[in-house]
């Protein structure tokens, strides 16, 4: 699986929010802590807000926070929001046709794993491969 820089930034931003104490977190803090260019982060946070992953408030006391508990947000959900629904279908002609089954099994395993891992597990270091 190839993960774009944009998706990596989204995963890092959600992880930062999942680890934060209750209350809004300024985008500047997320950008600085995670090394995410601010312009990219603003677009990513807007996309995550529209998808219902984060909420936001404006003003000096404003910022971003998770819309749901980190136990209820999976890696697969954030990846799908940023990348779109993955296409696990690949065609291989002739004698290479069995590779399509391998590709499909790999994709299913990948999706299953990403659907099982939550941001609560990521920030509490309870995930091990």
Per-residue pLDDT of the chain (129 residues; tens, 9 = 90+): 678 999 999 999 999 999 999 999 999 999 999 999 999 999 999 999 999 999 999 988 899 999 999 999 999 999 999 988 766 567 888 999 889 888 888 888 989 999 999 999 999 976 665
Please report the pLDDT score of residue 16 as a whole number: 97
Please report the pLDDT score of residue 65 as a whole number: 97
Please report the pLDDT score of residue 86 as a whole number: 66
Q: What is the topology classification, in CATH, of domain 5-123?
A: Arc Repressor Mutant, subunit A (1.10.10)
Please report the pLDDT score of residue 93 as a whole number: 85
**Rounded to an integer, what distance in angstroms lies between the CA atom of residue 111 and that of residue 58?**
35
Please report the pLDDT score of residue 121 as a whole number: 94
Q: How remote is the C-alpha of 95 from its chain's centroid?
A: 37
Please report the pLDDT score of residue 88 as a whole number: 59
**Rounded to an integer, what distance in angstroms lies between the CA atom of residue 110 and that of residue 118?**
14
**Rounded to an integer, what distance in angstroms lies between the CA atom of residue 46 and that of residue 77?**
16
């Amino acid at each position: 699986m190839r993960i774009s820089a944009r998706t990596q930034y989204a995963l890092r931003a959600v992880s930062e929010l999942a680890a934060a104490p209750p209350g809004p977190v300024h985008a500047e803090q997320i950008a600085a802590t995670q090394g995410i260019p601010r312009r990219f982060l603003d677009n990513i946070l807007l996309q995550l807000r529209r998808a219902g992953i984060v909420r936001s408030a404006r003003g000096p006391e404003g910022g971003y926070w998770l819309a749901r508990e980190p136990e209820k947000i999976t890696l697969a959900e954030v990846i799908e929001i940023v990348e779109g629904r993955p296409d696990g279908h690949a065609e291989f002609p002739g004698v290479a046709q069995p590779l399509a089954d391998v590709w499909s099994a790999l994709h299913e395993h990948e999706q299953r794993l990403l659907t099982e891992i939550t941001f609560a597990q990521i920030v509490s270091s309870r995930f091990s491969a």
